[in-house]
């Protein structure tokens, strides 16, 4: 840690930046961007009552939720091509990520851009409104005894009124889009290089 403190580091999220700061390590935030392949084009009429999730992220909660709500269709995004994943993003209404978020997670951003409503756990970077600036309605506290029940109610609300819930993500979808994040990324890199040149 002593050697790390001699340098300025790049953090991909406020969560990582704050962690480094707690260790007295300086960093500047440089947010990555999703692929332009996820272009934000989707047909509302093709959206289905399907819940997507990444099975590598805290599979214990997913298993219990799937068992508790057999009336809903869950799809694990595993062993698929990026085209298959994009197709599921484009035609599903919900993307659920109940794992610990160590930063600005890629898949939730891709899913949101493609019209999925996010349901995430209050763990890691989702606890702040910088890395995941969405309404608390969509952030679930898994420590509460009724957390699964609340998730079930939220799923029902989204499926029954998807268009209105999609409006809640309009600003976020623009913020995490390839075009927006790439512009900010390029500007930040130029600024960093200019600062390095000044010091040298």
pTM of the predicted structure, to 2 decimals: 0.93
What pLDDT, on the 0 to 100 scale, is given for residue 103?
Answer: 92
Residue 195: the pLDDT is 84
Alpha-carbon span 192 to 30, nearest angstrom: 10
Q: Are 93 and 70 in contact (CB under 8 A)?
A: no
pLDDT digits (tens, 9 = 90+) for 32-44: 999 999 999 999 9
pLDDT digits over 107-132, tens only? 999 999 999 999 999 999 999 999 99
| Inter-residue contact 108 to 97 (CB < 8 Å) | yes
For the chain, the straight-line distance linking the first and the last C-alpha, in angstroms and rounded, comes to 25
């Amino acid at each position: 840690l002593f050697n790390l403190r001699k340098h300025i580091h790049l953090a991909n999220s406020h969560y990582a930046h704050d962690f480094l700061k707690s260790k007295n390590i300086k960093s500047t935030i440089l947010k990555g961007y999703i692929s332009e392949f996820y272009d934000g084009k989707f047909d509302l009429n093709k959206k289905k009552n399907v819940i997507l999730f990444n099975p590598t992220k805290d599979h214990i909660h997913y298993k219990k939720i799937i068992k508790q709500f057999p009336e809903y269709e869950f799809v694990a995004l595993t062993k698929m091509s990026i085209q298959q994943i994009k197709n599921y993003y484009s035609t599903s209404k919900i993307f659920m990520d109940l794992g610990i978020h160590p930063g600005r997670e890629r898949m939730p951003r891709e899913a949101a851009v493609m019209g999925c409503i996010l349901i995430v756990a209050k763990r890691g970077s989702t606890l702040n409104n910088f890395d995941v600036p969405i309404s608390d309605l969509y952030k679930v506290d898994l420590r509460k005894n009724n957390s699964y029940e609340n998730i079930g109610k939220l799923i029902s609300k989204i499926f029954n009124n998807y268009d209105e819930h999609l409006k809640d993500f309009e600003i976020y979808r623009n913020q995490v889009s390839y075009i927006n994040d790439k512009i900010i990324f390029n500007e930040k890199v130029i600024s960093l290089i200019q600062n390095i040149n000044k010091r040298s």
